[in-house]
Amino acid sequence: MIENTLIIVFLVLLIHYVIFLSKIYFGLSKLTNKVSEKIPEELVSIIVPFRNEENNILNTYSSLTSQNYPKEKFEIIFVNDSSDDNSLQIIENLSKKENVFIYSVPKDYSAKAHKKRAIRFGIEKSKGEIIVTTDADCNHKKDWLNNLLNFMDKETGFISGPVEFISNNNLFSKMQRLEFAGLVITGAGLIGTGNPIICNAANIAYRKKIFDEVGGFTYQMSLSSGDDELLMQKIHRDSDYHIKFALEKNAIVSTEANPTLKDFYHQRKRWASKGLFYGDHLLLLKLVLTFLFYLSLIVQPILGFVISSKFFLTFIISFLFKIAAEYLVLKKGTSLLFDSNILKPFLITEILQVPYILVSGFMGMFGNLVWKDRKIKR
């Protein structure tokens, strides 16, 4: 009796996961291309929060100030978040541009949610009606801003843009590049289905008006993360504005993959911690079912040894369906956005993904977080 019940449970979890991936696959087909080749009439403010980015900020500054976008139509606001390296000095010593501004977050501004407070401070200083955020360790193609904002029309309140990890040709960075591309593709497909969940603050745009109308970050200032996904979800829930994904290769923002396994772990733990604060209870249930499916891929072989060899069969079926479904989604997504070479480490990434998802998902629920040399209490 218990044996048959467990088999049914495992098959239900598999079916749910395959349906979830099928929705992402068909959601990718529903994504639209650029609204037009015209740029928005409104002034644009690019907000770049930074902390201890002395090795990256010069490249980011250069890529942003070299945009093929009318200089009178956008401003760049760098916001120093208590850097204790030479980041601030480096950017202050650069030749000043008329549309570049540099601020430091006052120490008494807010003691929580460091990145969000820096972005909020930048927004308060901004003159633009459209806010674009990116990170200080990113590179941007010269037509990036143009291509991103070609998706902005009067009905659009939020745009999620694609982000890509740069691989330095070792296996670890190649696997990160593929795994991260999977997150971007998943986020794009979910937006295509009308259920925006995942995005990345390194490449998003939204209207300042709607940011204020939904309360900005006020409701999440106790959280260390969520300046991207939680804001997008709130705009989707609490407004009539559309959420779009910028399906354009020239709108991609690139950044370096994590250099060490420790850095990778802390980053994914921070990201996983956001899931606890998703406001949609049905979405939380779906995430729990997905987590349980991954857990079942560990439990089933164990039960095969302990209870019955039937569980080896259910494991093989589950894992093969997982591989096939994920490959189809990744292949479709990479054809729309990324280089097909990104799929080369697919099989080894698939094997290691199961324990990685379980560890990061579980640890994201507990303990303190680490970001930019800071230990952040929940």
Host H or E run for residue 48: strand 44-50
In this predicted model, what pLDDT tens digit does every residue of 6-45 receive, in sequence order? 999 999 999 999 999 999 999 999 998 877 778 899 999 9
Question: What is the Cα–Cα distance from 31 to 196, expressed in whole angstroms?
Answer: 12
Q: Are 47 and 119 in contact (CB under 8 A)?
A: yes
Give which of 334, 319, 325 is closest to 182, Cα–Cα: 334
| Model pLDDT, residue 377 | 57
Residue ranges of alpha helices (H) inside 44-193 are 57-65, 87-92, 114-125, 144-149, 171-192
Write the pLDDT tens digit of every residue in 212-231: 999 888 766 556 566 789 89
How deeply is 209 buried, as exposed, middle or buried, from its count of CB atoms within 10 A (0-12, 13-18, 19+)?
middle
Ramachandran sector of residue 204 (left: φ over 0; alpha: ψ -120 to 50; beta: rest): beta
Cα separation, 56 vs 139, whole angstroms? 9
Q: Delimit the CATH 3.90.550.10 region(s) of the chain.
A: 35-262
The CA distance from 46 to 128, in Å, is 9
Residues of the chain with pLDDT under 70: 95, 109-113, 219-226, 274-277, 279-280, 364-378
Collapsed DSSP state (helix, strand, coil) of residue 41: coil
How big, in percent rounded to 5, are the helix, strand and coil portions of the chain?
55, 15, 30
Sequence-ordered list of residues with C-beta below 8 angstroms from that of 158, at least 6 positions apart, any chain = 196, 204, 205, 206, 207, 210, 231, 232, 235, 236, 241, 242, 243, 244
pTM for this structure?
A: 0.92
In the structure encoding, which two tokens stand for residue 91, read together? Answer: 């950017």
Instruction: Give CA torsion, residues 65, 71, 73, 79, to 10 deg.
Output: 30
pLDDT for 150 equals 95
- The architecture that CATH gives domain 35-262 is Alpha-Beta Complex (3.90)
Number of continuous H segments (helices) and E segments (strands) in the chain? 12, 12
For residues 150 and 38, the answer to whether their CB atoms sit within 8 Å is: yes
- Give the residue ranges of DSSP H helices in 150-274: 171-192, 208-213, 229-238, 261-273
Residue 372 is predicted with a pLDDT of: 60
pLDDT value at position 98? 86
Q: What is the pLDDT of residue 219?
A: 67
pLDDT value of residue 271: 72
Give the per-residue pLDDT at 38: 83
Distance of CA 241 to the CA centre of its chain: 20
DSSP characters for 345-371?
Answer: THHHHHHHHHHHHHHHHHHTTSS-EEE
CB 57 within 8 A of CB 139: no
pLDDT score of 363:
74
